[in-house]
Chain A
Amino acid sequence: MTDLDERILARPLTRRVFLQGSTMAGVATFLAACGGGASPSPTGAESAAPSDGASAEPTSGPIEGPLNFANWPAYIDLTEDETSSPTLEDFKAKYGIEVNYQEEIEANEDFYATIAPQLSAGLDSGWDIIVLTDYMAARVVRAGWVEEISAAATPNAQANVRDELRGLDWDPDMKFHFPWQSGATGVGYNVVSTGRDLTKVEDLFDPAFAGKVTLLSGYPDTFSLVGLMLKAKGEIANVPAEMTLEDAQVVHDFLKPYVDDGHIRAFTGNEYLQDFGSGDTWVAFVWSGDLASSGGEDDRFVFPDEGSIIWTDNMLIPKGAKHKAAAEAMIDFVYDVPNAARLAAWIYYISPVKGAGEEIAKTDEELAANPLLFPPADVAAKMYPQMALADEDDIAWADLAADLEGA
C-alpha cells in the first residue's frame, strides 16, 4: 500500500493541472511562439541550416528542418511565462533548425485515423515524429508504417533507455521507437467515501461501493487490471501482455454482471476527476498522477497489490518522413540525461531515461523521491505493460469492451 499524496510535491505546474484548462491562453502563446503553421509543412525546400554535422549519418542525410513534431497536450516543458519550451529552444540553438511542434494528439485512435490513409497509401504523413501509446505504436510498427531509427545517430538513446522498456515483442531491438514518457494505471479512491484504505483491484467489487465505481473505457487499461486480479485469483493464467481472447472473454464475463446491476456506473476517460469531485465516484481505475495533482485532499492513488499497468507513449518516425535526420537528432537530444531530467521534472510522469532521477536528486531530493515519477522497486517489480494486439484480436477485444460499455 503506497499512500502517495503525502509525498506529492506541490509543483507550480504539472501536466494534469495544465490539462485542467486554466492556462489555455498560455498554450496559445506557446504554440504561436513555436512558430509552426497550423499544419506541418514538410516541403523540405527550406534551405538546410548549418548543422554541427557531428551526428549526421549517411543514410539519414543532413539534419534539415523544420522538424514536424506531433505530441500530446502539455507534454513538454515550458518557461515560467509559458511562451516557449527550453528543451525545444536548446534543440533549435544546437542544430540551427526550426521545430514545428504541434499538440495535435488528443487520442490514439483519433490521431491514427488522421494519418492512416496517407501511410497505408505509401504517402508521407507530414510528420517527422509522432508519439503513440504502446498498443497503437505496436499497431503502426507492425503495419510497417515507420522508419528505422539509425543507431549511429542516437547514441544517447541507445545507452540511456531504461532496461525494463527494452525487449518489447513488437520492437525487441529498439529499431523503430523510443519511449517519450511512461505512466501507470492503478486504483483511485476517495478515502472518506469508502471509509477505508484500499489496496487491491478486488476492492472495487465490494458491494458497499455499488453504483460508485467507474472503469476506464477501452480494453487496454481495464482488461489489463481486471486480468491481473483474475490472475491473482487463479482464474486466468496470463499477464496482460500475453492475455488471449479467451482470457478477455473471462474478464468480460466477470464484469458483465457488475455492469448489469449498476455496480459499475460508467466507463470513463479523464472525466473521472469530476466524478471524484462531485462524490459520484468513490473508486475507479485511474492514471497515476491525476488524482495526486488534480484530485481532492481525500482522494488517494494506489499501485494495487495484484500489480499495476505501465504504459508508455513512444516516439516514432512515420514512413517517408522528410526530416528523418532531424527526428533522430531530437530523439537523441531528449535522451541526454540533463535534458531528460528537465522534461521529467516538468511533465511529472515516469521518465524512460536512466539517470534522470539522480540528475533531479542533485537539485530536488523530494521530487526525486516521488513514487509517481520514480516508482519504488517493489512497485516497479509488479508493473506490467498492456497487451499489444494484432488487428483481428483488437477488433474482437474492442467488441467485448463495447458490449460492457453499452455502446
Chain B
Amino acid sequence: MALLRSRRAIPYLLMAPGLLWLLLFFVIPNVQMLVFSLSEGTLRTGFTTPPDVWDIENYTGSISKFSGNFSNSIVYGGLATILCFLIGYPLAYAIAFKGGRWKNLLLFLVIAPFFTSFLIRTISWKIILGNDGPVLAIARDVLHLVPANFSIIGSPLAVVGGLTYQFLPFMVLPLYVSIEKVDRRLIEAAQDLYAGPWRRGGMIAGALFGAFALIALQVGLGYGAFIGEDAAPAAVAAAALVGALVGGLVGAFLISQSFIRVTFPLSLPGVFAASILTFIPAIGDYVNPQLLGSPKTQMVGNVIQGRFLDQNDYPIAAALAFLLMAGILLAIFLYAKLLGTEELTGGTA
C-alpha cells in the first residue's frame, strides 16, 4: 500500500520543481503586483496597501489617461504580427518545402539575430532607417520618392518595422515546424484531385493584402504630412492601386488551390501558436518605440517601464501591467474562438 501510494506520488514529485518554480517566480510576484495595483503611494512616500485601500482608480484612471499608449500597443503589435506573418509564412514555407539540404543553415540564419543583443539589433535598425542610412539614401537621394527632410525614424512605421524584425523568428519557427509536418503526399493527393492554381481567389486575396500593405506603409510613414494634406488622398489611392496590382499578380501566380485547401489549413495550429508568440512580446515591447519612435508612438510598455523605473510609481505600473495582461488574454481567447484550434488538429483522434 505504501509502495502504491509512493508510486502515485511520482508524477507529483516530477511536477514539483516546475510548480515550485512557477509559484516562486510567477504566482507570488503576480500576487504582489496585484496588491500594488490596488495600492496608493510611491516607493518614496511609502505604500498604502489593501485592505486599507482598494484603489480601483489605478485601473480606471490609467485606461483613460494612457488610452493613446494602449491603442499604439494594439495597433503596432497587431500590425507587426500581420507583417511577421506575411513575411514569415512564405519564408517558413520555402525553408520547409524547398530548403533541401540547406534547411538547417537557413533555420540557423533565421535565429542568428538572436545571438546579438536585442538592444544592439534595435540600434542597428536605427542606423539602417536613419537619416544617413541605406533606406533613405535610396528612397530620397536615388529615387527622389521623399523630400529632403523626410525621416523614417520617429514614425510609427519605424516602430512597427523594428517590432517585425525583432519578433520574426518567433513567427517563423513555429510556422516552419507546422508546415514541415504537412505530409507532401497530401499535396499530391490534392493536385491529383484537380487542385490547380488559385487564380481568381489568389488575385483577390493578393490585391487586398497588397493594397492594405501599401496604405499602411504610407500612413505609417506619415508621408501625407510631408507632401501636404491636399495631395495625401491621391497618394493613398495611388499606393492602394500599386499594392493591389502587385499583390494581385503575386497572389494569382503563386498561390495554388492545394495550398489554400490543404497546406494552409493543416498549418493553422502553427499559425495560431506563431502569431500568439509574436503578438504577446510585440504588444508589450518598449525598446523599439523608445529607440525608433517618437513621443507620439510610445506604447504601454514604455509607460510601465517609466512608471516602474523612473518614477517608482508601482501602483500605476502594476495596474497597467495587469490591464495589458488582461487585454492579451482576451485577445488570445477571441483569436482561439475565431480559429477554432480544436477543429484544426483533427478532433479527438
User: Hey, which bits of chain A sit against chain B, CB under 8 A?
Assistant: 107, 109-110, 112-113, 116, 120, 139, 143, 210-212, 217-218, 259-260, 262, 264-267, 271, 274-275, 277-280, 391, 394-395, 398-399, 402, 404-407
Contact = CB atoms under 8 A, between A and B. Distances in A.
A116 B296 CA distance: 33
Contact of A110 (B69, B222, B298, B309): B309
A140 to B, nearest CB: 10
Nearest to B292: A266
Contacts of A113: 43, 309, 312
Given A109-B312, A398-B311, A406-B302, A211 B151 contact: yes
Q: Which of A211, A264, A395 has the most CB of B within 10 A?
A: A211
29 contacts: A113-B43, A139-B44, A211-B151, A212-B149, A212-B151, A217-B310, A259-B296, A265-B151, A265-B294, A266-B154, A266-B294, A266-B295, A274-B123, A274-B126, A275-B126, A278-B126, A278-B127, A278-B131, A278-B132, A279-B130, A280-B131, A280-B153, A395-B313, A399-B311, A402-B307, A402-B310, A405-B298, A406-B302, A407-B302
Contacts of A217: 310
Given A278-B127, A280-B130, A395-B42, A406 B309 contact: no
A267 B306 CA distance: 12
Contacts of B130: 275, 278-280
A406 B149 contact: no
Interface majority SS (helix, strand, loop, mixed), chain A: helix
B138 to A, nearest CB: 15
Nearest to B155: A262
B306 A405 contact: yes
A265 B158 CA distance: 13
B306 A402 contact: yes
B346 interface: no
B308 to A, nearest CB: 8
Nearest to B42: A395
Q: Which of A271, A277, A279 has the most CB of B within 10 A?
A: A279
Contact of A210 (B44, B132, B149, B305): B149
Interface in B229-274: none
Given A116-B44, A264-B295, A402-B310, 8 more contacts: A109-B309, A109-B310, A212-B149, A267-B295, A280-B126, A280-B131, A391-B42, A406-B296
Contact of A262 (B68, B123, B294): B294
A107 B306 CA distance: 13
B64 interface: no
B290 to A, nearest CB: 8
Q: Which of B42, B303, B305, B311 has the most CB of A within 10 A?
A: B311
Contacts of A120: 46
Interface string B299-328: 100110111011111000000000000000
Contacts of B225: 262
Contacts of A278: 126-127, 130-133, 153
Contacts of B68: 406
B81 interface: no
B296 A262 contact: yes
B66 to A, nearest CB: 8
A394 B310 CA distance: 11
Interface string B119-136: 000010011001111000
